[in-house]
Amino acid sequence: MGFTIAISNYRSPFKQNRWLMAFLAVFSVIWISTFIGTTDMANWMLENTLTVIFVVFLFITFRKYQFSDLSYLLICVYMCLHVYGSKYTYAENPFGFWLMEVFNTSRNHYDRIVHFSFGFLLAYPMRELFLRWLKYPPTASWVLPIEITMSISAFYELIEWAVADIFFKAQGDAYLGTQGDIWDAQKDIFLAFLGAIVATTIVSTIKRTFKIYGDDHH
């Protein structure tokens, strides 16, 4: 019952939504801690430019358009992963170094985790956006999150190139975090694309298995 409520909870005032207040509190604490403890302030500012834009977008649109609690949870988890990466730069992330030791890998894979998470965690909220906000057909609402994920990932790589090679050359290496991999951009795009496919497949399977079709009909 609780899970069903979390999925279908739309249009509730912010102050009455304890889950949403909790998500905001957790994200705020983590975000502030990354600002206070960052090892590279210039990189932190660059990494969090889009974070600020996205958070402002969520606040501005909240009264008219709201996601479900489940989507806000997924968004919160992704945002926390992203800002935690900005604290140390992705290539120097401590959790990534710990994974290097555990799995004996040749590079810090924290950036790969975040790129995969972009598709995996945000595909469901994007599906809600197309299905509930824009009133797209159910089929399109399944396909578009995958396509949009790949498009945004490619566009983000272009932004990274522009920032690192044109506007802020001094921060280029830290911001890109390629770690010597010439195919870094392509791999990042693929992982986000794969994450979106995995997420939509899981959600579709759950809906078909448990015959949850409410969100797919207007």
Helix 110-128 vs helix 94-103: crossing angle, to nearest 10: 110
- Average pLDDT (14-36) is 92
CB 190 within 8 A of CB 115: no
Containing structural domain, residue 132: 2-216
Amino acid at 154: A
Reply yes or no on whether the pLDDT at 11 is more than 60. no
In this prediction, residue 214 carries a pLDDT of 58
The DSSP string of 142-204 is: HHHHHHHHHHHHHHHHHHHHHIIIII-GGGHHHHH--TT-TTHHHHHHHHHHHHHHHHHHHHH
∠ CA 20-14-126, nearest 5°, is: 55
In this prediction, residue 4 carries a pLDDT of 42
Reply yes or no on whether the pLDDT at 170 is more than 90. no
User: How does DSSP classify residue 11?
Assistant: S
Top-ranked range on mean pLDDT: pick from 4-8, 48-52, 79-83, 205-209: 79-83
Instruction: Please give the tally of structural domains in the chain.
Output: 1
Mean pLDDT of the chain: 85
Query: How buried is residue 19: exposed, middle or buried, by Cβ count under 10 Å (0-12/13-18/19+)?
Result: middle
Reply yes or no on whether the pLDDT at 72 is more than 90. yes
- Average pLDDT (193-197) is 97
Top-ranked range on mean pLDDT: pick from 54-63, 163-172, 179-188, 191-200: 191-200
- Average pLDDT (40-44) is 85
pLDDT in tens, 140-157: 999 999 999 999 999 988
CB 116 within 8 A of CB 77: no
In this prediction, residue 105 carries a pLDDT of 86
User: How does DSSP classify residue 133?
Assistant: I
Reply yes or no on whether the pLDDT at 96 is more than 70. yes
What is the b/e burial string over 24-49, where b = at least 16 CB atoms within 10 angstroms of the residue's CB? beebeebbeebeeebebeebbebbbe
Q: How confident is the model at residue 3 (pLDDT cuts 50, 70, 90)?
A: very low
